[in-house]
Structure 1
């Protein structure tokens, strides 16, 4: 296989309202001590951006790879947030690089947002990216049997849905038996587990992505909720949460199901933090610590 880079001439109109800068301006008024995480370069990590993993009829989808120079690393796929409508893969670069330096191959991926394509297209894209990474495991220094998926906010809802629908071909755009899109671990950074739930406050943004309100599309709202796919085949999950209860909707219900099947789950709370704590100091270091400890436990423990 070979990698194709996205053409510089390829332009897709995207909603850019959600960015690190706009989020900082929003939260610094309430959390005056926050600082944007500084970008670092690590000698043991290579970085390659805009590798095409999926070709659509009208454009390509790409990922950015951050590869530890060791061989046979576990892989971590990172999904950005932005209310299913905005954001981009660069928002996950700092987290990807810092995880990679600990002995992982990390991939920040692009996927189709709500203005371009409704649910479940974005889920199809994530599963396609997982398959692409597994098929190119040797080039990416990756152990294809050790893959985790990590998402932030709306990306966390997507990551958890991807993980709870392991081997469910209904959530794959192209079904093939060459390689599986399954993952062995899920990391959820403040993402909901159920769209319709007493704790959930999802409305306009969810309706845009899901193609209608709960009243109009009750089956889709349920189908897109990871809670209703959690079962004995669900992989271990790490939840890292802010103090805002609305972003935990369905989490405790999921944990009860996991407990019934003796599946490992872990909850860590970043106190007194903005919802997007993974983008800022002084919260980034603790977030990274929780993630790498969980990954090491699942993939590197003897």
Structure 2
């Protein structure tokens, strides 16, 4: 059965009925400001951009969506996140956190459903969180909430089938600003609940989010309403009276040698990505991956609607492919170390796939067992080199496998025995038939402890 989901302001309508997506609505006395909604943005822009489509989700076979998972509770306030999971066929072990916008005081996690679904169909596990807005709690509460989400994602990496070292954070408008602020400040304790938390992210994607509040262009718009501006209502004062907080909340002032790779996608209106040239100068001077893409004369919230949401998903995917050239399909504990090098498990690799037959031929020309046992291709192990280990599963041997190393030209350069009771790497036996026959589940060169 194919499920179609249409996104409304705060609700999701499905063939199963309707469900309110505002988790906060079930809790008492939580302020809500709804001036920023998907339908409001659609009707504002559809006349000048008739090509945009009302957000509709079509779930591919094998996808999963888990709504309202609790990631934090503080003083009775529960915060939830929705998790869009990919099908097993495309899962790549990477994660993206999508932060909704709304001038730091409005918006809802359902606004990011379309982009989340598109990224999930490209292999990512995607998180759309709620966080406390300025109408409920002042700066920096929402930032602390989102850092706590990063910790929650990493703590649950095995269950979520992601690599905790491959978590990116992205956002649009004020959500893009917050994503950049958290990514650039991740080496600091400023926005952490606990100083020892690991809040690092592997990449930042900022869609039309301001990067520097201190410039004339930023202040012309962000401080125009004085104490009633979005930033002022968030940090607690206009620029003139709360200068230190405006500076502290500017992502560029937190850039460091450990800044993550960054992709900035602009509508073409320079006010929304003010500060991007400073980010570019800092990152490129340190050979940290950076990319800036700008539309021409695009409306501000382009990521909410197709065809542009699909374009954004493609750009994010292409950027993260550069940042993570090894496609991880398993949690980070699915890795092996051989001769001082770490290799990560992957289900697919075009280069490795071309040389599977060579590995199988090598195995059958030198069988390890007195009795004949067939072998099939299992995983690949990759790292930043151009080499690859091809793992062969041997029929009836459940806890070990054979590894063959190939280079980019397809030449077999090494072979090992892998015991997953450890895991441990052994030299390949030099004499055929010296290994005793095994029962299913026994280890080839090792024994389970009693």
TM-score (norm 1): 0.93
Per residue, is there more helix in 1 or in 2?
1
User: What do residues 84-133 of structure 1 show as CA deviations (whole Å, max 9, x unaligned)?
Assistant: 01001001111111111211111001110010111111110110000001
Contact 2:262 2:290 in 1 (8 A): yes
Deviates more, 1:255-264 or 1:64-73: 64-73
Count of matched residue pairs: 295
Q: 1:83 corresponds to which residue?
A: 103
Q: Which residue of 1 aligns with 2:26?
A: 9
1:23-78 CA-to-partner distances (Å, cap 9, x unmatched) read 11222243333222322112232100100101010310110001124467111111
Question: Match for residue 161 of structure 2?
Answer: 141
Paired residues of 1:199 and 1:248 also in contact (CA < 8 A) = no
Q: Pick from 25, 33, 37: which aligns with 2:43?
A: 25
Correspondence for 1:161 among 175, 181, 194: 181
Residues 278 and 284 of structure 1 are in contact (CA less than 8 Å); yes or no, is this contact kept in structure 2? yes
- Structure with the greater alpha carbon radius of gyration: 2
Contact 2:115/2:310, CA 8 A, preserved across alignment = no
1:38 is matched with 56
| Residues 1:300 and 1:222: Cα distance change in structure 2 (over 3 Å) | same
Which SS does the other structure have where 1:64 is aligned?
Answer: strand
Instruction: Work out whether residues 72 and 141 of structure 1, in 8 Å CA contact, stay in contact via their aligned partners in 2.
Output: no
Contact persistence 1:273–1:283 (CA under 8 A): no
Q: Which residue number corresponds to residue 392 of structure 2?
A: none
Provide the aligned C-alpha RMSD in A.
1.7
Instruction: Provide the C-alpha distance between the structure 2 equivalents of 1:235 and 1:126, rounded to a whole number of angstroms.
Output: 17
Q: Is the Cα contact below 8 Å between 1:45 and 1:97 reproduced in 2? A: no
If the length of structure 2 is used for normalisation, what is the TM-score?
Answer: 0.63
What secondary structure sits across from 2:69 in the alignment?
A: strand
The CA distance in 1 between the partners of 2:294 and 2:190, in whole Å, is 33
SS at match of 2:316: helix
Query: Following superposition of structure 1 onto structure 2, how do residues 43-122 of structure 1 map, counting pairs within 5 Å?
Result: 43-70=61-88, 73-122=93-142
Aligned to 1:266: 291
SS of match in other structure, 2:214: coil
* RCO comparison, higher one (Cα < 8 Å, 6+): 1
Q: Segments of 4+ in structure 1 off by > 3 A?
A: 6-9, 69-72
Structure 2 contact 302–308 (Cα < 8 Å) conserved: yes
Counterpart Cα distance in 2 of 1:105 and 1:16: 28
Q: Determine if contact 1:241/1:270 at 8 Å carries over to the other structure.
A: yes
Q: Unpaired runs of 5+ in structure 1?
A: 1-5
The CA distance in 1 between the partners of 2:297 and 2:235, in whole Å, is: 31
